[in-house]
Homo-oligomer: A and B are copies of this chain.
Amino acid sequence: MSERTKTADIDLGPLPELMGYVLRRAQLVVFQDFFAAFAPFDISPAQFSVLTVIERNPGLTQSQVAAALGIKRTNFVGLLNELEKRTLAERRQVSGDKRSYALYLTAEGTALMRKLRPVLKAHEARMVAKVGEDGRDQLVALLHDIADGRAAGEPRNGADVRGPKASRAPRPGSAET
C-alpha cells in the first residue's frame, strides 16, 4: 500500500459496525457542534448538564447532582469549583450538617441559562436535521435501552418506533457528560 493511500481506501475491519466505535464517533461529532455553539459562553456539555440539574432542582446536594448525572465525585467537585469561581452556581451549607452543601444557581447563572436556551435549541435542531425527527426518536429510544439497561428476552422489533417519552428517565450510572 503506497504512502499516498487515501483514508477511504483504508480497511477499518469490524470497527464501523461495532456499537462502541460508532457511538463514540457520533458522540464526538455532536459534542464538537456543542462546543462550537457554546464557545462564546465558555460552557462545556458537562457544565451545561450540571447547571441544568441545579436550575431544575435547587437545593440538591453535590452527591445528588453528581449521581443524577453519573459524574464521579472527584470530577464533579472540579466542575463545581469552576462554576462557583465564575459565580454561576453556589454551595450553601446545609444547616445542621457542616459537611453537606446544597447547590443553587446565582442570579448570573440563571441569566446565563436563559441566554443559552436558544443556543441549545439551535444546536439540537442541527443534530436532529442529520437523522430527521423520526430518526431522532428511534435513536433516543435505542440509546436509552443501552444506557439504562433493558430486560433480556425483550428484543426490539425492527419496525418499532417509540417516542422519546417511552424511556425518558436515565438511571444513575456512569455518564460523565
Tell me if B177 and A25 are in contact (CB < 8 A).
yes
Tell me if A158 and B161 are in contact (CB < 8 A).
yes
Per-position 1/0 for A135-151, Cβ under 8 A of B? 11111101111110110
Tell me if B5 and A60 are in contact (CB < 8 A).
yes
Known contacts A34-B20, A139-B19, A53 near B13 by CB under 8 Å: yes
23 contacting pairs across A/B (C-beta < 8 A): A3-B97, A5-B57, A7-B64, A7-B67, A8-B171, A11-B53, A11-B56, A12-B170, A13-B52, A13-B56, A15-B49, A16-B164, A19-B140, A20-B27, A20-B177, A22-B143, A25-B147, A28-B147, A29-B147, A131-B146, A131-B150, A139-B139, A159-B159
The yes or no answer to A21 lying at the interface (CB within 8 A) is: yes
Query: In the assembled complex, which residues on chain B have CB atoms less than 8 Å from the CB atom of A29?
Result: 146-147, 173-175
Tell me if A128 and B19 are in contact (CB < 8 A).
yes
Tell me if A28 and B175 are in contact (CB < 8 A).
yes
